Amino acid sequence: MKLTSARLFVFVFALSVVLLFPSPSSESKQATNVEARVNALLAKMTLEEKLGQLQQLDGEGEGNYRPEHVELLKKGVLGSTLNVRGAKKTNELQRVAVEQSRLKIPNLFGYDVIHGYRTIFPIPLAEASSWDPSVAERSASIAASEAYATGLRWTFAPMVDIARDPRWGRITEGAGEDTFLGSAFARARVLGFQGRDYSAPGKILACAKHYVAYGAAEGGRDYNTTDMSEQRLREVYLPPFHAAVDAGVGTLMSAFNDLNGVPASGNPFTLTKILRGEWKFDGFVVSDYNSVLELISHGLAGNNHDAAEAGLNAGVDMEMVSRLYNENGATLLKEGKVSQATIDEAVRRILRIKFRLGLFEHPYVDEAAENSSILTAANRAAAREASGKSMVLLKNDRGTLPLNKTISSLAVIGPLADDPRAPMGFWSADGKDTDTVTALAGIRAKVSPQTKVTYAKGCDITGDSTSGFDEAVNAARQADIALVFAGEAKEMVGEAASRSSLDLPGKQMDLLKAIHATGKPTILVLINGRPPTIGWAVDNVPAILEAWMGGTEAGNAIADVLFGDVNPGGKLPVTFPRTVGQVPLYYNHMNTGRPPVADVRWNSKYIDGPWTPQFPFGFGLSYTQFKISDLQLSAPTIRPDGRLNVSVNVQNTGQRAGDEVVQLYIRDVAASMTRPVKELKGFKRITLKPGETQRVEFTLGPDHLGFYNREMKYVVEPGEFKVFVGSSSEDVIEKSFVVR
């Protein structure tokens, strides 16, 4: 048949449609197959077996399982274990589930793999300081591969809580105060742990936690109440969870906190209406440790029976550690307080994830590969690179840093200079202190053989003793440079580690003052898990490096930065206050009718100190200098559904190659509801050689410009918008455009 040009066009177009949109896809076939398998298995299950899938129980110490686990798995009435790990142990227990139970449903092994399994990476707050989500994706991927080798298939990470109160110890586990930055890191960590297919070898199931608003606990006290408007909930605290869901996260964890009078682990509005109804999440929700039982302490439930009813009906599918579903499920069903459909749906969600995870096909792990897969040289190198990228240079007067490797003598001082525990941070999984490279070890390995390095502890992290001050002062006097390492102990951050003071604990600030008084150039290196209040140091010490809790390779990475092999390019993901009395202090606050103005009494400020932060969100210096200029917008006006291109020139005007994080903020000048003074809506970390210029571009659209109005509808309203681009939330250039 002869084809006319018109027929040829139709034929080519049709062929292109087939190639671009094959039907049905292998992915949809796989999904259909999973649902069919779930339904077939569910139809065979007894009520006892169904309730068993809703139960997770804790193991013993050192990764051991309990004898009870064996008996429960034989009966097919245990769905998951917590903290049981090690290839041999998990295989032993899995064989019971798969080979000795009636329905052969595999067990799901979970563990807190937060920022590394055996190779420990920087704490998540530190990795967020890199402003490079690929750093977090890579570290999560390595953590997943190490955990997988030990039989684990599920981690209770990432923590995506927005945290604006540094008194809260768990600020260390997240990405800081900003929703946009937090959402980017939520996506990255989910993809790192799970990849595009979490049934693949070396990938594990992720769990976004703690759902939701746990990071807004009153007074910065862990487990405490949170109370906020629905608008704030939707605009600030929910988006990182939504980003995790969009990235394919398989599970979420319900939080400990009370939210607007309804505890998060018994809250149908967040767990069902938003998560399942609006976001279409089809994975499962696990409670935090005993949080269903704690519905009684909250006062939502009067007894175990009522707590089980509230948790199940709200949408918590799996109960961690407490056993209320198992003990009360049959009675609740008989009384009609929980329906069979509710129980079946919870079981269906859990089975769906187990099938997607490939547990039925591959329930065991290769025991021979376990030891060769963890703490490898490549993994340690990745941890070192991540730690270096995460550090933030807070002050560097007169080019104090970097140091010369051939310097004649150094005094390394402070309780954290040779501490192998603190750099591991909280939730350091199976990381070993003996694997840690301390700062002292990293410095000694970096300097020339002729450099004299003297170490003096000076004082403990906590306590009032100054008995070591004389030794430290003498060491400083005899050296060319004094490096003082100060901060927090490992136990002072993380869960149940809220602090009422943000000052350096113990006598560390007094030690720093004593070293400074020697007249020798003094450098402060912070090893910590939250923003500290260090006003005296900022006013008096010439150089300050925020090294955070940097993980297994922290000491080598610190030395890399101090001696210039790595040029620090990190930026703060959280505001540093001057005093704890300023807290909560965050950059994207609403304005007031009387914004603070210097030397004017009747406006929103303090009478006993500045209202401004010590260091603003997004701040960080470099060993080189950058200039951001020529801000251009692609149009002066756009429609509410339109898009706007924003571009700037970024030039390295210094003498070293370095990284700059270009940050884009907006402000909706006037709207039907008050809007923040600035909102981060874009960022890019770029590397420039000396003298090099790069044009950096961003695109703004409805997702960036809209907000939830008084009717809780997401809208982009007409009006003027300001665009700010710069190197921090305060150091910016600006232009305006109009939405018509």
In terms of C-beta density within 10 A (0-12 exposed, 13-18 middle, 19 or more buried), how is residue 308 classed? buried
pTM: 0.95
DSSP 597: -
Residue 4 has pLDDT above 60, yes or no: no
Residue 22 has pLDDT above 70, yes or no: no
Residue 223 has pLDDT above 50, yes or no: yes
> How much is the pLDDT for 648?
98
Q: What CA–CA distance (Å, rounded) separates 62 from 676?
A: 48
* Residues 569-594, mean pLDDT to the nearest whole number: 97
Alpha helix ranges (H) inside 432-482: 439-446, 469-477
Q: What CA–CA distance (Å, rounded) separates 246 from 250?
A: 10
Residue 372 has pLDDT above 60, yes or no: yes
Q: Of 614, 495, 492, 576, which is closest to residue 166 (Cα–Cα)?
A: 576
Asked if residue 24 has a cis previous peptide bond (ω within 30° of 0), the answer is yes
Which of 1.10.1060.10, 2.60.40.10, 3.40.50.150, 2.130.10.10 is the CATH number of 626-739? 2.60.40.10
In the chain, list all ranges with CATH 3.40.50.1700.
385-580
Model pLDDT for residues 82-134, shown as the tens digit of each residue: 999 999 999 999 999 999 999 999 999 999 999 999 999 999 999 999 999 99
Residue 7 has pLDDT above 90, yes or no: no
Strand partners, 254: 211, 287
Q: What CA–CA distance (Å, rounded) separates 587 from 612?
A: 10
In the chain, list all ranges with CATH 2.60.40.10.
626-739
Q: What CA–CA distance (Å, rounded) separates 168 from 497?
A: 7
Strand order in the sheet with 409-413: 392-396, 543-546, 522-527, 481-487, 409-413, 452-456
- 562: confidence class by pLDDT, cuts 50, 70, 90: very high
Which of 288, 317, 419, 560 does the annotation list as catalytic? 288
Of all residues in the chain, what percent carry a pLDDT higher than 70?
Answer: 96
In Å, the largest CA–CA distance within the chain is 99
Residue 281 has pLDDT above 50, yes or no: yes
Collapsing DSSP to helix, strand or coil, 99 comes out as helix
Residue 300 has pLDDT above 90, yes or no: yes
* Residues 44-68, mean pLDDT to the nearest whole number: 97
Structure token digits, residue 283 = 């994975």
Q: Is 630 a catalytic residue?
A: no
Model pLDDT for residues 583-631, shown as the tens digit of each residue: 999 999 999 999 999 888 999 999 999 999 999 999 999 999 999 999 9
Residue 28 has pLDDT above 80, yes or no: no
Cβ within 8 Å of residue 223, ≥6 positions away: 217, 256, 257, 496
> How much is the pLDDT for 14?
39
> How much is the pLDDT for 3?
40
Model pLDDT for residues 685-719, shown as the tens digit of each residue: 999 999 999 999 999 999 999 999 999 999 999 99
Collapsing DSSP to helix, strand or coil, 666 comes out as strand
Structure token digits, residue 272 = 């069902």
Model pLDDT for residues 158-182, shown as the tens digit of each residue: 999 999 999 999 999 999 999 999 9
On whether the CB atoms of residues 414 and 481 are closer than 8 A, the answer is: no
b/e for 550-577, b at 16 or more Cβ within 10 A?
A: bbbbbbbbbbbbbbeebbbbbbbbbbbb
Structure token digits, residue 231 = 């608008």
- 29: confidence class by pLDDT, cuts 50, 70, 90: confident
Q: Give the dihedral sign, CA 36/39/42/44.
A: negative
- 17: confidence class by pLDDT, cuts 50, 70, 90: very low
- 61: confidence class by pLDDT, cuts 50, 70, 90: confident
Which of 3.40.50.1700, 1.20.140.10, 2.60.15.10, 3.40.50.2000 is the CATH number of 385-580? 3.40.50.1700
Residue 323 has pLDDT above 50, yes or no: yes
* Residues 564-580, mean pLDDT to the nearest whole number: 98
> How much is the pLDDT for 25?
62
User: Which position has the token pair 């920087």?
Assistant: 122
> How much is the pLDDT for 608?
95
